Structure 1
Amino acid sequence: MALGTSHRLQDGVEAVETMTRFAFAILALASGVYTYLGVRSILDGSATAVFFAALIYSSAVSVAIYAFWTYMARFYPHVTGTAGRAAMLGVMALGCAMIIAMSSWLNAAALAGSAALEQHLAETLEDYTADLDQAHQNALAAQSLLPDIQRTQERFQRLADQERETGALTGTTGAGSVVQLLSQMASQLTELENGINASRERVTTLFDEGRKHLETMRTLVSAPGAINPRADQFSAEVVGLSGVITSLEQTSIAPSVKRAAEDLSLGFIAPVADGRQADLATRQDQVMETIRSSVAAQSKVLSQAADQILERKPVAERRFVPLSSAEAVLRYAGDFIPSWAGAISIDILPAVLIFMLSIVHSTLRRQEQRLPFAERITAAELLQALEVQREVRRYGVDIEAAMDAAERTEAADQSNIASFDLSGKGPRKGPPA
C-alpha cells in the first residue's frame, strides 16, 4: 500500500514538472509586464529612451525572477538537513525581499498608480478647500464689528440731531460746538463703515473666484481619462487658487479698523465752546468731556475687537507637490492594500509551489525509509539484476566461490597491515642510577 502511494507521488511530481516550469515562466512574464508599466511612469526623457530602458529593466526582472524560483524549486526540496533548510529559507527570504524591491512596488504602481494619484489630488483639493474657507472667514471677521460701528454712529448722529433741534444735551437749541463734535464722530464712524462694506465686496469677489478654481479642480479629480494631463491642469489651478487665498489674507480690514479705532480717541479734537453765556459754555464743556469719555470707551472696545481678529491663526502656506504613480502608491499604500497584495502575490506565488514540492519529497523520503529493500527495488531494477546473474552464469563463474575468494583476499590484506599498538611493550629503561 505504501509502495503504491510512493509511486503515485513520484508520478505526480514528474507529471507537474512541466506545468511548474510553465507557471514560473507565466508569472515571471506577468510581473515583467507590470514592471514595464510601472517603470515607464517614473522615467523621464524621450519616448524612445523610456521605451528601451523600461523594456530592458522589465526583461531583466523577469529573467531574474524565473531563474531564482527555478533554482529554489530544483534544490530546496532535496535539502534534508536542518542547517541546510534554514540556510535555504534565509536565501529565499532574501530573494523575496529583493523581488519586492525591484518589482512588486512597480507592479503596484501599474495596478493602482492612477487611483493613488487621484487620491493625492482629492486630498490636496480638501486641503485647499479648507484653506480657502479659513482665509474667507479671516477676511470676513471684521464684518462682525459692523453692527457695533453702525449702532455707535447712529447714536452720535441722533444726539447731534436732538441737540440741534431740542437742545437735549446743553438745553440750548442750534448748531453749536456740541453738535459739531457729535457730527464729526458720526462722520468718522460712517467712513469706517463704508470701508468695511467695500472690503466685503472685495472679499466676496475673491471668494467666488476661489470657488471657481475649486470646481475646476474637483472636475479634474473625477474626470475620466489619463491622469497625467489632469494632474498638470490641476497644478495650474492650484497656482491660481493660491493667489486667491493670498489676496484674501491681505484683504482683511481688521488692521484698518484697529487704526481707525485708535484715531477716534487719539485724534479727538474738541471744538472750543462757543456759548456767549458763561453758563452755556460750561454746559458745553461738560457735554464735550462726556463725549470724549464715550469716544474713548468706544475706541477701546473696537481696538480690542480688532486685536482679537488679528490674533486669528493665518492660513499656513501650502505647496502642492506633484507625484508620480509609483510615489503615490508608496505614500498611500495603506489605502491600496488589495493592489499591493496582488502585486506581491504575482512575484511570491512560486514559493507556495516550492513548499508543496518540498512536502511531497519529504513524504517520499519517509516512506522509503520505512520500506524493506525488497519493496524499495523497482521491477526494472529487479530485471536488470536477473540479467546480470544470467550473464555471469553463462560465462561459468561461480558467484559464491568468487565472493569467498574476495572475502579471503580482504582478510589477507588486513593481516598485512602493520600494527603500531605499543601497549604490549614495557616502559623504557632510564639511565642507571
Structure 2
Amino acid sequence: MALGASHRLADGVEAVETMTRFALAVLALASGVYTYLGVRSILDGSATAVFFAAMIYSCAVSVAIYAFWTYMARFFPHITSRSGRTAMLGIMALGCAMIIAMASWLNAAALAGSAAVEQHLAESIQDYTADLDRAHENALAAQSLLPDIQRASERFQRLSDQEKQSGALTGTTGAGSVVQLLAQMAAQLRELEAGINASRDQVTTLFAEGQARISAMRTLLSSPGAIEPRADKFSEEAVALTGTIAALEQTSIAGSVKRAAEDLSLGFIAPVASGLEADLVNRQDTVIATIRTSVAAQSKVLSDAANQILTREPVPERRFVPLSGAEAVLLYASDFIPSWAGAISIDLLPAVLVFMLAIAHASLRKQEEGMAFAERITAAELMEAMRVQRALAANGVDLDALTRRENEPGRTDGESPTAEEPSNITSLDLPAKGPRKGPQP
C-alpha cells in the first residue's frame, strides 16, 4: 500500500514538472506585460525612447521572476535541514520584497492607475470646493455688520430730524450745530453701508466664477476618454480657481469697516455751539457731549465686531499637484486594495507552487523511510549489490556462511573472525564499474 502511494506521489511530482515551468513562464510574462504598461505611465521623453526603455525593463522583470521561482522550485523542496530551510525562507522573503519593489507596484499602476488619478482629481475638487465656500463666508462676514450700521444711521438721522422739527434734544427747533452733527454721523454710517453693499456685488461675481470653475472640473472628471489630457485641463482650471479664491479673500471689507468705525470716534469733530443765548449754548454743548459718548460706544461695538471677523483663519493657498498613475496608486493605496492584491498575486503566486512541491517531496521522503529496504532500493543500487556479490564469490567468500555465523547464539560483535572468515572485505579486488567485455560470470 505504501509502495503504491509513494510511486503515485513520485509520478505526480514528475508529471507536474512541465506544468510548473509553463505556469511560471505565463505568470512571469503577465507580470512583464503589466510592468511595461506601468513603466510607460511614468517615463518621459520621445515615444521611441519610452518604448524601448519600458520594454527592456519589463523583459528584465520577467526573466528575474522566472529565474527566481525556478531556482526556488528546484532547490527548496529538497533541503531537509532546519538551518537550510530557514536560510531558503529568508532568501524567499527577500526575493518577494524585491519583486514587489520592482514590479508589483507598477502592475498595480497598470491595473488601477487611471482610477487612482481620477480619485486624486475627485479629492482635489472636494478640497477646492471647501476652500471656495470658506473664502465666500469670510468675504460675506462683514455683511453681518450691515444691520447694526443701518440701525445706527437711522437713529442718528431720526434724532437729527426730530431736533430740527421739534427741538427734541435742545428744546429749540431749527438746523443748529446739533442737527448738523447728527446728520454728519448719519451720512458717515450711510457711506459705510454703501461700501458694504458694493462689496457684496463683487463677492457674488467672484463666487459665481469660482462655482463655474468647479463645475468645469467636475465635467472633466466625469468625461470619458484618456485621463492624461483631462488631467492637464483640470490643472489649468485648478490654477484659475486658485486665483479666484485669492481674489475672493481680498474682497473682505471687514478691515475697512474696522477703520471706518474707529474714525467715527477718533475723527469726531464737534461743531461750535451756534446758539445766540447762553442757555441754548449750554444745552447744545451738553447734547454734543452726549452724542460724542454715543458715537464712541457705537464705534467700539462696530470695531470689535469687525475685529472678530478679521481674526478668522484665512483660506490657505492650495496648489494642485498632478500625479502619474503610479504615484496616485501609491498615494491612494488603501482605496485600491483589490488591484494591489491582484498585482502582488501575479508575482507571488509561484510561492504557493513551491510550497506544494516542498510538501509533496517531504511526504514522499517520509513514506520512503517507512518502507522496507527491498521496496525502496533503486535499480542502480540493485545492480551495484549484485556486482559486489559476484566479486565476493570470485574471491571465495561464502556470504551465506557469514550470515549463519553472524546469527549463531553466543556470538558477539567483538569476536575476531575465524580463519575461514576474511578479516577485511573492503580489501577485496572489486571489478571496475561499467560494462565488461567478454562473457559475464
Q: 1:399 to 1:266 in 2, by over 3 A?
A: closer
CA apart distance, 1:227: 1.1
Q: Kindly indicate whether residue 403 of structure 2 is the aligned counterpart of residue 410 of structure 1.
A: no
Q: 1:243 to 1:91 in 2, by over 3 A?
A: same
CA apart distance, 1:186: 0.5
* Superposed counterparts of 1:146-295, under 5 Å: 146-295=146-295
Cross-structure match for 1:418: none
C-alpha deviations, 1:396-433, integer Å up to 9, x for none?
x786343629974836969xxxxxxxxxxxxxxxxxxx
Aligned counterparts of 1:341 and 1:157: Cα–Cα separation in 2: 75
Cross-structure match for 1:300: 300
Counterpart of 2:357 in structure 1: which amino acid? L
* Superposed counterparts of 1:316-395, under 5 Å: 316-377=316-377
Aligned counterparts of 2:29 and 2:372: Cα–Cα separation in 1: 46
- Is contact 2:239-2:319 (8 Å) kept? no
C-alpha deviations, 1:347-386, integer Å up to 9, x for none?
00001001001101111111111111221246x6699689
61-70 vs 80-89, greater mean Cα deviation: 80-89
Aligned counterparts of 2:426 and 2:269: Cα–Cα separation in 1: 141
Cross-structure match for 1:428: none
Q: 1:52 to 1:214 in 2, by over 3 A?
A: same
Cross-structure match for 1:52: 52
Q: 1:150 to 1:238 in 2, by over 3 A?
A: same
Q: 1:216 to 1:146 in 2, by over 3 A?
A: same
CA apart distance, 1:34: 0.4
* Superposed counterparts of 1:88-167, under 5 Å: 88-167=88-167
SS of equivalent residue, structure 1 residue 276:
coil
121-130 vs 138-147, greater mean Cα deviation: 121-130
CA apart distance, 1:314: 0.6
TM-score (norm 2): 0.88
Aligned counterparts of 1:77 and 1:332: Cα–Cα separation in 2: 39
C-alpha deviations, 1:288-340, integer Å up to 9, x for none?
11111100110111111111111110111212111111111111111111111
Aligned counterparts of 2:99 and 2:319: Cα–Cα separation in 1: 35
Cross-structure match for 1:64: 64
Cross-structure match for 1:424: none
C-alpha deviations, 1:20-55, integer Å up to 9, x for none?
110000000000000000000000000110001000
Structure 1 unaligned spans of 5+: 415-433
Counterpart of 2:397 in structure 1: which amino acid? D
Aligned counterparts of 2:205 and 2:426: Cα–Cα separation in 1: 117
CA apart distance, 1:146: 0.2
SS of equivalent residue, structure 2 residue 159:
helix
CA apart distance, 1:13: 0.9
Cross-structure match for 1:422: none
* Superposed counterparts of 1:13-24, under 5 Å: 13-24=13-24
Aligned counterparts of 2:41 and 2:87: Cα–Cα separation in 1: 37
The root-mean-square deviation of aligned C-alpha atoms, in Å, is 2.2
Cross-structure match for 1:430: none
Q: 1:359 to 1:171 in 2, by over 3 A?
A: same
Aligned counterparts of 2:310 and 2:382: Cα–Cα separation in 1: 103
- Is contact 2:139-2:252 (8 Å) kept? yes
Cross-structure match for 1:8: 8
Cross-structure match for 1:83: 83
Number of residue pairs matched by the alignment = 407
Aligned counterparts of 2:263 and 2:223: Cα–Cα separation in 1: 54
Q: 1:296 to 1:373 in 2, by over 3 A?
A: same
Q: 1:301 to 1:221 in 2, by over 3 A?
A: same
